[in-house]
Chain A
């Protein structure tokens, strides 16, 4: 390519381009001189990764928007930093002997942003609204389905939610169908947040930015579509006014743009691209601002027996599990910032089995298993395609590492196929993809959410044809077991069976990596994302 050099113009032109690149190398450690946004005062600034998908707690599903709405709304109960359930709107609660009736005492000091006091009747309204078909909640069926009468409402049979009653002004009673030790955990999700009846009714029944009135520590200040959402501290908050005056959420869809915004002082916190991590860690300033948080999510490789007959043979599945070098994948695709998964239930979820060892990296054993299944060196195995979600480089890198392992260790040449998330979800739910790399993130912190829900025979979420009667029996027993210790032990047994059966190859438990400015203090990390910013401070 140096042939072009003799020409004066081209050389000049190319020098210009290279200067830019050389400049960018040199730019490494430089950034704006501290001051940045003095006008912002006590306002916490961090970017949203896309426009809010919904302002309705009954509809919201993505973590980014939930992180926004949980500042504004609250539910009866919430997570604390140790992933224990503590009161939100509810001060305390009692559970009946048979585990089906929950009686909540609401804090009398809770009021909506419009000044009106919250009563038990508001909770009845909020729950009922969430399960009425007209609300079009996609999450009610997951989180509120246990409440007596919820399914009847969802199926348009009635408009009255029988299982939720206001006993008096500050006493709420919820009845569920049977003992479900994880029910309280489900109530932490936005579907169970208290919403403001008069605001919604004044807005033609819609809960959007014009009816965004909750009881949480922050209230909506401005919403500029596509650009930003700003929140102001709620001075009347029943838990004490938040330290912050407000929160500014600029919408920045591009990850590089978010990184630049952080480094130029426009934001106080940002997510980090794994690809950029080495530079950040090596930087004398940024390196000290890196924070890593575990999340209740597992990334796995699904081996679908329904769509790929050879996966019906346990030995083929186990061969895949033994052939994958998870450590290497974590190194190249995630720069080491996640935790290798031995089992299915992530650390932090009550009952996580920390001493458990799953199917480890063992190429020789993998080869033997594949050969004993009749596919020595991958011969005779039909063409296999691994699907995954597009637009995330670390996912693609992980899949390419898997592809490489399968080729080297088992002699199997697989193709990879990235697709839009909508298509990936559809094909996953239809059970038509033979093999895919995906994530399961907890709906609520309970083993049931990972084991019974995802892998039990007949569960709507199990679309990969996995079925083991012993696993099913243990799950069924654990699902209704009242004794927490016994319950955990039962799930652990079930988990061990599922890992050995290898319907999934468990690869890693997700960690999120963030940069926090040194003056950003008091962030309360949680397994499901940050907790509301009640104690967060920015002392610039």
Chain B
């Protein structure tokens, strides 16, 4: 599998995207990772159809809880009699949503502000840098915890939103910095200067030349971030301020299962495995995408 990507025949010319997709399809790591993520997305979307029980249904027929897997509960039940498999399925919803939405928000904010700062320079740049400085310098966990305390709505169902907002506010500056740095470097490159000299508009330069060329670091950073956000939600849950019970997220399940580490380690293992596999798949896919789109790898 190792030699595939390096020895692609390039007999007929293709569009860069098609070429990249072709390379991606022939990378087994990428395919497996994408498959896993696709399965997870399906699971998350159709959780109520897939899960045999509701996430908060308590089976009170057991004398000892938590209980190991049996015919009724394929991954066992937790200490309250809730079906672990069902909670994992519903947990995928929360954890994936947290990861994907947050990174999308980050990319949108980060890319627009980062490009603006790098391209307009002047006080735009100064303002953004001061703001990101402050946000960056701020202990992010401290900030998130404080924010969660304040914006926690009275309706516990909205605790999702609280977590989204808190983590989004804390995490966008990283992306903004990255984009700005890349853009600063790119705008000095010959091809950008050439474009500028023949009168191409700023907007076009940014969208046609600068943005595509910084795609790979953005993708690398974003995939790391999706994982980071899922873990950040887990940490908030660990501190008792993440997703509110009875709603499950993998992070919540991990922190709920932690005291059972030595008696019923599977309570911790299953959500940790789900989390670990997802994070790995995201990272492998991110790397593969990066390689596939890298123009220098194409020859």
Contacts and interface: CB of A to CB of B under 8 A. Distances in A.
A416 B262 CA distance: 29
Given A385-B154, A391-B240, A418 B245 contact: yes
Interface stretch (B95-103, B206-214, B268-276): B268-276
Interface stretch (A24-32, A154-162, A456-464, A495-503): A24-32
B10 interface: no
B198 to A, nearest CB: 48
A1 interface: yes
B260 interface: yes
A454 to B, nearest CB: 26
Contact of A417 (B64, B244, B268): B244
Contacts of A273: 259
A28 B262 CA distance: 6
Interface stretch (B27-35, B168-176, B177-185, B285-293): B27-35
B162 to A, nearest CB: 12
A53 interface: no
A417 B154 contact: yes
Interface residues on chain B, size class: 35 or more
Nearest to B60: A328
A228 to B, nearest CB: 24
A415 B269 contact: no
A401 to B, nearest CB: 7
Contacts of B280: 4, 10, 13
A400 B262 contact: no
Given A24-B262, A332-B65, A385-B156, A4 B281 contact: yes
B79 A276 contact: no
B29 to A, nearest CB: 7
Interface in A1-46: 1, 3-4, 6-7, 10, 13-14, 17-18, 21, 24-25, 27-28
B32 A3 contact: yes
A7 B263 contact: no
Interface residues of A, number: 43
B264 to A, nearest CB: 8
A24 B261 contact: yes
Nearest to A383: B155
A256 B261 contact: yes
B246 interface: yes
A397 B56 CA distance: 12
A397 B80 contact: yes
Interface in B150-204: 152, 154-157
Contacts of A396: 245
Interface string B230-251: 0000000001110011100000
B16 interface: no
A67 B197 CA distance: 78
Q: Which A-B residue pairs are the 5 nearest by beta carbons?
A: A275-B259, A279-B263, A390-B240, A391-B240, A415-B156
5 contacts: A4-B280, A282-B263, A393-B259, A418-B240, A423-B149
Interface of B: 28-29, 32, 35-36, 39, 56, 58, 60, 64-65, 79-81, 149, 152, 154-157, 239-241, 244-246, 256, 258-263, 265, 268-269, 272-274, 276-277, 280-281
